[in-house]
Structures are given as structure tokens and as C-alpha cells.
């Protein structure tokens, strides 16, 4: 996140893209597909068009809203006619592709990190701060709790403090 120079249009856009990926746990295609009409500023919600043509509303956290608004107000070219939230900065001004979103992640990372890895990070952070596995699954919009379990890296130290001891004599 610190690698984004928010004094530039590209830096503001990249910061907003990374913030959306990290805080909302979205998929690359979901970020690339965000439309201006999907952001409900008045109600603090964002419409996500996900896998299987599912549409779900998520709360729009303040920091995510501020990052997106920073891009829209002070980064996005005014003459851009695209209805997508995230666009290229240079002409021809068009919606970012999923690959372009992934490239933003690769540029920002000090090591090789995929954009999809940020979904895992979101799940792990939610668990670390006390969210239950079903709650994490809701945020990531998983159909099955088994999918959520694959995403969430378990904090073994924290788990050890709440795990029951193994019964004596059990094999």
C-alpha cells in the first residue's frame, strides 16, 4: 500500500484497487467489473457481481469508500466515459481488465504475490480479529464453509488458547 504514490492519478487508482481487494476480499474480476452505479454512497453499500452471476451487497467500509472516492475525485480522468469504477489513466480510457488488476498487485508487492492471495489475507485477518468461519464465508461470499476453511490460514497459537485438551487415554 505504501508503494502507491497517492499524489498521482495512477497511485490513487492503485491504492483504491488494493484497498478494495484487501478490505472486501474481492476477486480480480469483481474489482475489474465494478460499475459506478454499484457504489451506493448514501447507504454505504457496494454491489458485487460475483461467480455464477450472483449479486450481493456488501457494506462499504469508510476507508474503502475514501480510497475509491479519492480515485474518482482526484485521479480518474474527467473526460473518461467508461461506466467502470477502475479505468486506465491514459488514453484510450477504458475499464481495467482482470489482468490489469493483477498487475497492480504485482507492482505493489515486494515479493511475488497474486491478487488472489489477498483474499486469503482478508480471511486470515478477519479470523485474527475474532470473526467466525461462517462470518468470513459471508464476507468472501462462499457457497460452502469448506471453501472458506481452505482460504483461512489458522492462527495456531490463538487456536491453542481455545482448544480443548485431548482426552486422557484416547488414541
The one-character DSSP state at 12 is H
- Per-residue pLDDT tens over the stretch 70-104: 999 999 998 899 999 999 999 899 999 999 999 99
Do residues 145 and 137 make contact, with C-beta atoms less than 8 angstroms apart? yes
Which three cell numbers mark 88?
486506465
Residue 160: its pLDDT value, please? Answer: 58
- Per-residue pLDDT tens over the stretch 22-72: 899 898 999 999 999 999 999 999 999 987 788 999 999 999 999 999 999
One domain for residues 88 and 142: no
**Structural domain boundaries enclosing 137:** 120-162
In total, how many domains does the chain have? Answer: 2
One domain for residues 40 and 71: yes
**Phi, psi at residue 30, to the nearest 5°?**
-70, -40
Q: Alpha-carbon distance 98 to 115, whole Å?
A: 10
Q: Alpha-carbon distance 152 to 97, whole Å?
A: 27
Count CB-CB contacts under 10 A for residue 22.
18
Q: Alpha-carbon distance 147 to 50, whole Å?
A: 15
Q: Alpha-carbon distance 150 to 130, whole Å?
A: 18
Q: Alpha-carbon distance 100 to 94, whole Å?
A: 11
Residue 54: its pLDDT value, please? Answer: 86
One domain for residues 25 and 79: yes
Q: Which active-site residues does the annotation give?
A: 27, 51, 116, 119, 142, 151
- Per-residue pLDDT tens over the stretch 126-165: 788 888 888 888 778 777 877 777 766 555 555 555 556 6
Q: Alpha-carbon distance 35 to 87, whole Å?
A: 10
Does residue 3 belong to any structural domain of this protein? no
Q: Looking at residue 106, which CATH number applies to its domain? A: 1.10.443.10
**E-strand stretches of the chain:** 39-40, 45-49, 55-59
Amino acid at each position: 500500500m505504501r508503494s502507491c504514490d497517492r499524489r498521482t492519478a495512477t497511485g490513487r487508482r492503485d491504492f483504491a484497487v488494493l484497498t478494495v481487494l484487501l478490505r472486501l476480499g474481492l476477486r480480480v474480476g469483481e474489482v475489474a467489473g465494478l460499475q459506478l452505479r454499484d457504489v451506493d454512497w448514501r447507504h454505504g453499500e457496494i454491489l458485487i457481481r460475483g461467480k455464477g452471476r450472483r449479486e450481493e451487497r456488501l457494506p462499504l467500509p469508510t476507508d474503502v469508500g475514501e480510497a475509491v472516492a479519492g480515485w474518482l475525485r482526484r485521479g480518474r480522468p474527467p473526460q473518461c466515459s467508461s461506466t467502470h469504477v477502475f479505468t486506465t489513466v491514459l488514453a484510450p480510457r477504458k475499464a481495467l481488465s482482470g489482468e490489469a488488476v493483477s498487475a497492480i498487485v504485482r507492482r505493489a508487492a515486494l515479493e511475488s504475490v497474486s491478487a488472489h492471495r489477498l483474499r486469503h489475507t482478508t480471511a486470515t485477518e478477519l479470523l485474527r480479529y475474532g470473526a467466525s468461519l461462517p462470518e468470513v464465508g459471508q464476507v468472501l461470499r462462499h457457497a460452502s464453509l469448506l471453501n472458506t476453511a481452505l482460504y483461512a490460514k489458522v492462527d495456531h497459537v490463538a487456536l491453542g488458547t481455545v482448544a480443548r485438551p485431548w482426552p486422557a487415554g484416547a488414541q
